[in-house]
Amino acid sequence: MPALSGLSGMGEDYKQRVLATRSAALLRYWMLDEASGTSMVDSSANADHGVYTGVDLAQPGIGDGRTCPNWDGVNDKGNAYTAALAAAFPTAEGSLGGFCKVSGAGVYADGTTRQVAGFRVDANNRVFFGRSTGAGSMTLQYSAGGTAKLVTATLATLGWFHMCLTWSKAADEVRAYINGIQIGATQTGLGTWVGAVASSAANIGATLTTPSGVWSGSIAHVGLWNAPLTPAEVALLGVR
């Protein structure tokens, strides 16, 4: 009997849902459920693992029976950079999504940028989502050639939520989603991405490996695709 995909994950392993979503385009899938060690395992077919620093592993996950790490907001990071990732990074057509949760209400009020997941060459060529400085604001952004396309939402939830960004240079559009629902207008007028993702700037839970922009809270099930997922696909991924 086929899985009841999309019905709030009833009886279904969320991992299988991610792996089944545009599987040929799934470049990396950091499930983030390791119980110990510093390897941040990529569960996609590429098995291109990253490295944890400082995170508290095995914290309560999204409710799928798996655990996840907690970032302390100070000096933790999940470094996803590899030469293979930099070479394959989808600069023109792609999607990035994952679940996150803040450690407390103060995270929405401390005026600090905190990245959930992101990849950047520099300030002009980057894709990410995370906290921005405004009270309660979360930003999903794709910048290419100095042209920034971003959508910001104001949140106050202390529970899990899913964020996803899709981008397509060919279709000239960027879409942002929270919990599987598109937020803001579809962004158009994309620039052209220049350069390769920097070794210090391919991170889960931090902006740079310094680290700066450290997330405060939990992150789970981060996926990166080399194709823009459809609204229907993101809707399936955006519910637990």
Partner 1 sequence: MAQRRLYLGIENIALTVPQQQALVDGLKTIGLQNDPSPAKINHWRIRLDGDGAIFEAEFDDANFTVNALRQRLATIFGVLLAQVTNATTNPAAGTVLTMSYQSVARVRFVVFGGSVATYQESQNAVRAYLAASSAQWELDT
In the complex, least distance from residue 83 CB atom to partner 1, rounded to whole angstroms: 23
| CB distance 98 to 84 below 8 Å | no
We find the least distance from the C-beta atom of residue 30 to partner 1, in angstroms, to be 14
Q: Write the CB contacts of 206 (distance below 8 Å, at least 6 apart in sequence).
A: 71, 76, 77, 78, 115, 212, 213, 214, 215
- Given the complex with partner 1, which of 13 and 56 has the nearer CB atom? 56
Stretch 75-104 residues interacting with partner 1 (CB under 8 A): 75-76
**Cα angle for residues 147, 141, 144 (degrees, 5° grid):** 30
54 binds partner 1 (CB under 8 A): yes
Stretch in the footprint of partner 1 (CB under 8 A) among 52-60, 91-99, 174-182, 191-199: 52-60
Radius of gyration of the chain (CA): 16
**Closest to partner 1 by CB, 26 or 107:** 107
- The SS3 call for residue 68 is strand
Interface with partner 1 (CB under 8 A), residue from 113, 137, 182, 230: 113
Residue 148, judged by CB atoms within 10 A of its CB (0-12, 13-18, 19+), counts as middle
> Which of 97, 118 has the CB closer to partner 1?
118
Q: Does 152 contact partner 1 by CB under 8 A?
A: no
Nearest distance, CB of residue 69 and partner 1, angstroms: 8
User: How far apart (Å, rounded) are the C-alpha atoms in residues 141 and 128?
Assistant: 6
CB of 113 to partner 1, least distance (A): 4
The smaller minimum CB distance to partner 1, of residues 178 and 206, is found at 206
Q: Which residues from 193-222 bind partner 1, rule CB under 8 A?
A: 207-208, 210-214, 216
Cis peptide before 2 (omega within 30 of 0): no
Binding to partner 1 by residue 53, rule CB under 8 A?
yes
Residue 55 CA, chain-centre distance (Å), reads 17
Question: In sequence order, what are the residues at sequence separation of 6 or more whose Cβ sits closer than 8 angstroms to the Cβ of residue 136?
Answer: 108, 109, 154, 155, 156
Q: Establish if 8 lies at the interface with partner 1 (CB under 8 A).
A: no
Give me 176's structure tokens.
Answer: 């942002």
Q: Is 158 in the site for partner 1 (CB under 8 A)?
A: no
Positions in the binding site for partner 1 (CB under 8 A): 36-38, 52-57, 72-76, 110-113, 133, 207-208, 210-214, 216
